[in-house]
Amino acid sequence: MIVTIVDVLEGESMLKQGAILMIAAGLSMSAAAGRDVIYDYATVIDAEPIVRIVRVSTPRQECWEEDVVYRRGYSRPNGVGTVMGGVIGGAIGNAVGHKKRNKQVGAVVGAVLGATIGSAIADNARSGYGHGNHHGTEEVCRIYDDYYEEERITGYRVRYRYNNETFTTRMDREPGDTIKIRMAISPVI
């Protein structure tokens, strides 16, 4: 039994009929194209490299040592050092004075001096001098790009001869002495 395109198309919608005709036409063309193609070899006359200048980046790493301070914990200023220094300084100033007036002046001067010293001691404790902080070095690195230009071959302009005629094409790699060619044969209508 032979099924024709007309048999398939009967009873189908116009959209389906168009799709079926396109598929049938494509299949017949590809079958015909496969029969009318032949392969042969042609002699290479010349292969000239196609050169392009490209910019090349080369990463370079530079490293150096930097001094760092490692701190263990940070406390905010809370005024305890100033108050404690003021109380202790005032008590010492009061004890040093011999008369009532001297004791009052000594207490005030001692309180101011003690508050200043207490504040300085608290600041030093917060900043870490002698309280668990230590100094060291760390390696720090940075990457720089060095650029240079170089010539690169991006393809070959190839001249070849077939049947005493010269043709030119572009190829990605060097062809050698011969290249394989494909010829499509079709009648002139």
**Which CATH code is given to the segment(s) 5-53+153-184?**
2.40.50
pTM above 0.85, yes or no: no
How far is it, in rounded angstroms, from Cα 89 to Cα 105? Answer: 12
Q: What single letter denotes the amino acid at residue 116?
A: T
Contact indicator for 159, 167 with CB cutoff of 8 Å: yes
Strands 178-184 and 37-70: antiparallel
Evaluate if residue 73 carries a pLDDT over 60: no
Give percent of the chain with pLDDT exceeding 70. Answer: 60
Least confident of 32-41, 84-93, 165-174, 177-186: 84-93
Could you report the per-residue pLDDT of 81-130, keeping only the tens digit for each? 667 766 776 677 666 666 766 667 777 777 777 778 877 777 766 565 44
Residue 151: pLDDT above 60? yes
Write the single-letter amino acid at 75. S
Taking the CB of residue 95, how many other CB atoms lie within 10 A of it?
Answer: 11
**Integer Cα distance of 165 and 43 in angstroms:** 11
Q: Which of the pair, 162 or 109, is modelled with greater confidence?
A: 162
As given in the structure block, the two tokens for residue 149 are: 């230009």
Q: What residues pair up with 47 in beta bridges, in sequence order?
A: 158
Confidence class for position 23, pLDDT limits 50, 70, 90: low
Q: Where are the domains of the chain?
A: 5-53+153-184, 56-144
Query: For residue 18, what is the DSSP state?
Result: H
pLDDT digits (tens, 9 = 90+) for 25-66: 554 454 444 468 999 999 999 999 999 999 999 999 999 999
